[in-house]
Chain A
């Protein structure tokens, strides 16, 4: 079935995807617009998930938009459906349930998921993540019931989660893994500073060590570290940054590195395919490099720009990529190389 008019497909139902779709609808009243998401919930605020676990935020407050708003905007929403493959030549998306969807233009805003360190893959069953609504719904009750926690890693969410647990009166041990900010490694100085700033909380901090083994035993989990520390806890969480959800684009001809490579106009190397949000690596003329971006406002801005540019505009995304971000008062660089100039 060939579409009568344009069919804009947006992969991803997060801030980038929704703002892209809304922009498209605003500028083009007639086109078919479809959002595809592998999650089964409407557009929700990811940053509020920790508050939701702690019971500070009601479930309804998690959602940005309701089912009705998709209908009002005449946007078709396909939930719980996963894109498996893209064929840019014939402009077809293959969904995992073996349905083929024709598009005329495509925006990839598939976001990212928790990164599982390769060395931890054998403990995958014991490691929990808190990156999506589904994760939260799955672990929420268990978190409330449990008392002893072990956090492995230490990205931005990790510290947010840790503070939440402390506020809930839980016992927490954190093993700060210097590679959590992959591709950048925390230096010893930074580790010391972070440890310092965490000392006001009542948490166990392990640094310069690594996980030796994780074993599940009768409802509790035993974590052993290389240096011989043993912790028996209820749950182990891993926070080692995010990796973009872009498996479906691999091998399609779209340039991919860590994320989908796009220029400052959010165009991929293939005409009529755009990418935005945390799944994209955006060329930043200022840094002269491709940088990944995280955070809600970035995603929103990129979604809007992707929508506009797809319709023929020529807007440069400005907010893409910061050189530093703040972690417990410590300045962490977003690039991995030694900036020798900076030190002088």
Chain B
């Protein structure tokens, strides 16, 4: 297929327009470290800002549209290292921030699904590109091969350090390997992306737990720096009588057992307690183990479940019921085996402190539900037993501890979070270790600004509805419990969904010196995005704040495009008689200092 055939007539029109302009104009690229530019990128590219790893989301979505899946994969990998994994299980803070999901704009772009699609659809000849620094001769031990440990190891290896990765379990991956069910994250894919990291020369030592197998002080002696990234693996307890009966599992152990191929006893009637991803994963796994009446029991209401709508829907589809406004008060057993759970009904109350809405149990409102097993998935806390007592000096900003050369990363440092935060944390820690080892800051973030001439997309794309993820049907799900439920976008679906992105990385500006204040742009604007302003506020950190608007023409100092409201439709660009509206492509990148 010729490249030209990929595009529809309309798309070609836009490309041709591009060509005409680019022949005339010289590419102007500026690298800025101005606080105002950082502020602008953070404010007007909300998805990227919401991403803990600052993935260049509009950038990779645009390359997906251009069918450059390999490039899209690389743009992802620069920031988040494991796109194929994250494209399946990421908690998607970007999608909540997406401008397309704002009121009146429809639904947010399927950013995560697109991330997956570039991993799925990249050509078989795709090659990973890593720019390796010269060897420094320094040795670093990273403890824990979960997302944070892998990310730290990856970056440290690139920076020229010799890395040894210690893992207490049989296989690397941590939570990814043992916490997330296989029907959401196929293990061969996980292993592939882990191997891509290990190929940088990282030595992996599995079945090596700190404490029983090797002491921390030994590591400190043998290595120039040690990073602890052991995550949060100690389950939070229910704290109610009867917790120790047989068939009362904690969610993480249950998932671990399932993922190790063991078949923990679930029985027909399963009560899962908890409102997060693990709870849903446990419930869905219980269905696959033969559970007929599986319920998720939550203290608050559905709204407060810490999972996204698709997860809720998939669980419902698999026949899982959710009972809300109840909390367990007692586990009842017979012959040391669980037979029922006693719950108290709860009601919602207000508090003055976060989270503002809490549930409180109602006195004497006991109810009893018969069960064969209970899975308590209440989240985890970090296992501080392996840490020496001198942890007090923990500096969350630099990931340093009070002990020289000992660093912490990921959930272990921050408390239980999500995979993408752990990866970001791991990478941050690697940067700090590098600075510690080399005595200088070798990498820095800058904003790359490049002139651009079109909106890259017609307005009609704004009205495309979200492309839903393809899933397998119930029978296939139950036929083999490891069958991946989501099957990914096809090539055309991915491109269709990619069209929906507003490309917020394009910044629109009116040149106040060329503007004749005809207000034609204001008339065509579909949003309240072009404003007559008399002042621009400046934040204490040097970034721009909001605009002070005025209706009084005598006070107008400029007509300005509010990029936080702008949906990049380009209508202003089309009507401007003075050609005074410019488009600039902004990109947050990391370069050598």
Contacts and interface: CB of A to CB of B under 8 A. Distances in A.
Given A98-B104, A255-B301, A257-B302, A288 B325 contact: no
Contacts of A258: 324
Contact of B301 (A261, A289, A339): A261
Interface in B332-348: 340, 343, 345, 347-348
**Interface hub of B104, B301, B313 (most chain A Cβ within 10 A):** B301
B368 A290 contact: no
Nearest to A251: B303
Interface residues of A, number: 24
A119 B473 CA distance: 10
B198 to A, nearest CB: 41
A256 B325 contact: no
Contact of A256 (B103, B301, B340): B301
Contact of A269 (B104, B324, B348, B362): B348
B325 A257 contact: yes
A296 interface: no
B368 A338 contact: yes
A256 B303 CA distance: 7
Which label, helix, strand, loop or mixed, suits the secondary structure of the B interface? strand
A118 B316 contact: yes
B28 to A, nearest CB: 40
B544 interface: no
Interface in A205-259: 250-251, 255-258
B321 interface: yes
Contacts of A289: 325, 345, 362, 365
A248 to B, nearest CB: 12
B536 interface: no
A290 B347 contact: yes
A140 interface: no
Nearest to A85: B103
Given A261-B301, A288-B362, A288-B364, A255 B348 contact: yes
Interface string A300-344: 000000000000000000000000000000000001111110000
Contact of A337 (B316, B350, B368): B368
A290 B300 CA distance: 12
Contacts of A94: 103
Nearest to B304: A255
Given A183-B323, A283-B347, A256 B302 contact: yes
B370 A183 contact: no
A288 B360 CA distance: 12
Contacts of B302: 256-257
B317 A290 contact: no
Contacts of B104: 98
A251 B303 CA distance: 8
A275 to B, nearest CB: 14
Nearest 7 interchain pairs by C-beta: A288-B365, A257-B301, A337-B367, A118-B316, A118-B317, A289-B345, A255-B348
12 contacts: A183-B321, A258-B324, A261-B301, A261-B348, A269-B348, A269-B357, A290-B347, A335-B367, A336-B323, A337-B369, A338-B340, A338-B370
Given A256-B302, A289-B325, A335-B367, 6 more contacts: A251-B303, A256-B303, A257-B324, A269-B348, A289-B365, A339-B368
